[in-house]
Chains A and B, each alone.
Chain A
């Protein structure tokens, strides 16, 4: 069950990335410099999220799955409103210079990217308590999550986008996030 949830989490994350990257092409234009700037901004958020996730995993060690559930809920809530906000902000800043666009992108995406970055440390720390092996736990969870991410990228970018458009991609990802959050929460309730 945990593997399926983390696979779905990776799948949803990359559906968002494909959709948001497409939407942000409207802000940045479609060139390699823009793609690299957007990827780097996302990575900065993920890095900060990773540090926060590690701290949360140690601080609330009895509630890690509940934290994971809240993280997924946060991502889903942001995702639900994301495309509308990107459109609204884009209308205001379309003529701005690249550094300002990068800064606004960072501020706008800080919450979801931090949330996405926090999931791996939270779950790895939980698994390490069972396996006592950091490398094995990290590799196993990273494999599941990245396999979901790869599936999400290929399915989202090459198939789903053509049939459902950007709104459809984000809706699918949001539903997945909410489902993951609910299932994770129920598993915590059952364990109590």
Chain B
């Protein structure tokens, strides 16, 4: 159940969870900015949806940590669910374009919520597995796992912009050109 036999998996996992969460958030902001014709308006909406997903995912993760059962397995399944949600996201959104502006927007927001929720379930679990409960050490050990998550969260958006967005620019332009409000 514990991953303690490896020296760094919890911090690496925490880093990966942050990287995936904020990296994919950037991609959703891109999609919604086409939808709203403005990044300034898309940002608070997608950030709000994402943060709600993260909040409720953390709440579930907290309950799972309280039971202390199947933590590694749940962590793996959650990462898989989040990855599936972001992988299927663009294609599903594209397929829904014919159902209208608000249906597409709701579906995209729902998928973004699911991805954020799934990744966030991992957040408390990583801390539970990676931090040491010991007088004078809990804060430092917890903060290292947290800092690894934040490091991933910082690099994620940059990677998304520099790699994926440039590679997929033409495809996403094609996809998002149909993702505009009714006139």
Interface set of A (CB-CB < 8 Å, partner B) = 14, 18, 21-22, 25, 30-33, 35-37, 39-40, 43-44, 46-48, 50-51, 53-58, 61, 117, 120-122, 124-125, 128-129, 132-136, 138-140, 142-143, 146-147, 149-150, 153-154, 156-158, 161
Contacts and interface: CB of A to CB of B under 8 A. Distances in A.
A21 B47 CA distance: 12
B161 A153 contact: no
Q: B-side binding surface: helix, strand, loop or mixed? A: helix
B123 interface: yes
B40 A22 contact: yes
Nearest to A121: B143
Interface string B110-149: 0000000000100111011101010111111111101100
A32 B33 contact: yes
B101 interface: no
Contact of A139 (B47, B59, B131, B141): B59
Contacts of A142: 54-55, 58, 62, 123-124
A157 B140 contact: no
Contacts of B161: 32-33, 36
29 contacts: A14-B51, A32-B29, A35-B39, A36-B161, A43-B150, A44-B154, A46-B150, A47-B154, A54-B141, A54-B143, A58-B139, A122-B139, A134-B142, A135-B68, A135-B124, A135-B125, A135-B127, A136-B65, A136-B66, A138-B58, A138-B128, A139-B58, A139-B62, A139-B65, A139-B124, A150-B55, A153-B44, A157-B43, A157-B47
Interface centre among A58, A128, A138 (most CB of B within 10 A): A138
B78 interface: no
A135 B62 contact: yes
B154 A58 contact: no
Contacts of A39: 22, 26, 154, 157
A14 B60 CA distance: 23
Contacts of B82: none
Contact of A157 (B48, B52, B155): B48
Nearest to A129: B138
B89 interface: no
Interface centre among B55, B71, B133 (most CB of A within 10 A): B55
B43 A35 contact: yes
A154 B39 contact: no
A125 B51 contact: no
Closest 4 pairs (CB-CB, A-B):
A157-B44, A54-B143, A139-B62, A135-B128
Given A36-B160, A136-B66, A154-B48, A54 B139 contact: yes
Contacts of B39: 30-32, 35
Contacts of B40: 22, 25, 30
Contacts of A32: 26, 29-30, 33, 39, 161, 165
A36 B124 contact: no
B45 interface: yes
Contacts of A51: 143-144, 147
A152 B150 CA distance: 20
